[in-house]
Structure 1
């Protein structure tokens, strides 16, 4: 499986090295770091990686989560708690078929102190929660090990039907287009826009669009933009004609 593990703003080299080792244990090899707050090739990271040093040294660093997920088709965020108007996290077994059927899935883990924030989770189609006891806080490497195990080494059969969904970059571009359109037609305003877009994201992400479907939706949005612009032009022309008529003296 072409599975990427994305660590958002990791704080300590040791945790990054330990996460790389956990990935190697479970058969994952694509490590991506978003705005790390330390040197991921520090001696401590290399020491904690042990036999996963090669995996650690091949890790790619990105300035934003959006860029790290650009070529992924399914992104799974990790969280231990329910967040406001975001979809609730699900049990790994419920998501296993979805992840295994994807062509390029990603597992996203947050900073050690806080976990993923809402703006990060908004970029994930689904969220997963590892069942634990009352104390749900896991070390970063523990979380990587457990979630990778669930999706790479779990015993459930791989689904027969595979569906290649749109990449996250395609979906993010579509959501940006949707937000522009909502503002254009007065569907939302600056105060409500983020909440409204979250609801649309949740609904459209469940559809698991492929690339052609995302382009189809954007074609609809372009038509809305054109129609609004055309109506504005027609209105302006009508007002100009009325003004000309009003200024013409009677014979």
Structure 2
């Protein structure tokens, strides 16, 4: 499986190296770092990576999460907390069929101190949480090891009470295509007065949840954007016609 592991703003080189080692243990080799706050090739990182040094040196660095996920068709965030306006985290085994059916999935982990913030999780189609005891704080490398195991090495059987995520055989739109769609949707909502600056983020989160669940193909995302373009054109054309007619009326009714 072409699984990418994305570490957002990691703080210490030792954690990066340990995460690389955990990836290699489970068979993942695509490490991506978003705005790291340390040198990922520091001696401590290399030492902690052990036999995963080659994987560590091949890691790609991105300025933003959006760029790191641009070529991915499914992105899975990790969180130990329930967030307002976002779907609650699921057990990794529930998400396994979705990940294994994807052509280019990504697994996203947040900074050591805070985890992923809401704006990061918005870019992920689903969120998972590793079940723990009362003390839920995991070291970054521990989390990488456990979730990579669930996606890459665990058996397909899941507990009977757990709902299965439908497996899609279509080629899903990548995250760059979907983020472009969401930007387009936000602009259209503002244009037609469907939302305003205060409510826009909450409203768009609801749309994200619904449309990400649909697992749109690239063609379907283009179809949706074509509809948005037609709405925008119609609104602007109506506004233009109103201005033209208003000016014509003023000319006809005014003094000669």
**Residue aligned with 2:39, SS:** coil
Q: Following TM superposition, by how much is the alpha carbon of 1:160 offset from its aligned partner in structure 2, in angstroms?
A: 7.9
Contact 1:8 1:109 in 2 (8 A): yes
Please say if 1:239 is aligned against 2:241: no
**Residue aligned with 2:37, SS:** coil
Take 2:240 and 2:94, find their aligned partners in 1: how far apart are those partners? 51
Contact 1:101 1:163 in 2 (8 A): no
Take 2:251 and 2:169, find their aligned partners in 1: how far apart are those partners? 63
TM-score, normalised by the number of residues in structure 1: 0.97
Please say if 1:29 is aligned against 2:29: yes
TM-score, normalised by the number of residues in structure 2: 0.95
Contact 2:98 2:167 in 1 (8 A): no
Take 1:239 and 1:50, find their aligned partners in 2: how far apart are those partners? 74
**Residue aligned with 2:124, SS:** coil
Residue matched to 1:88: 88
Deviations 1:133-152 (A, max 9, x none): 11111000000000000000
Q: Following TM superposition, by how much is the alpha carbon of 1:161 offset from its aligned partner in structure 2, in angstroms?
A: 5.6
Take 1:213 and 1:6, find their aligned partners in 2: how far apart are those partners? 27
Contact 1:26 1:152 in 2 (8 A): yes
Q: Following TM superposition, by how much is the alpha carbon of 1:247 offset from its aligned partner in structure 2, in angstroms?
A: 2.7
Residue matched to 1:99: 99
Choose which of 174, 191, 196 in structure 1 pairs with 2:198. Answer: 191
Contact 1:7 1:32 in 2 (8 A): yes
Take 1:236 and 1:197, find their aligned partners in 2: how far apart are those partners? 31
Take 1:141 and 1:45, find their aligned partners in 2: how far apart are those partners? 12
Residue matched to 2:143: 143
Q: Output aligned runs, 1:48-87, within 5 Å.
A: 48-87=48-87
Structure 1: any 5+ residue segments left out of the alignment?
none
Take 1:163 and 1:93, find their aligned partners in 2: how far apart are those partners? 22
Structure 2: any 5+ residue segments left out of the alignment?
158-165
Distance 1:160 1:92, change over 3 A: closer
Take 1:161 and 1:139, find their aligned partners in 2: how far apart are those partners? 33
Contact 1:76 1:106 in 2 (8 A): yes
Take 1:25 and 1:34, find their aligned partners in 2: how far apart are those partners? 22
Q: Root-mean-square deviation (CA), in Å? A: 1.2
Take 1:14 and 1:124, find their aligned partners in 2: how far apart are those partners? 26
Residue matched to 2:123: 123
- Please list every run of at least 4 consecutive aligned residues from structure 1 whose deviation after the TM superposition is greater than 4 angstroms: none
Residue matched to 1:207: 214
Contact 2:7 2:111 in 1 (8 A): yes
**Residue aligned with 1:127, SS:** strand
**Residue aligned with 1:243, SS:** helix
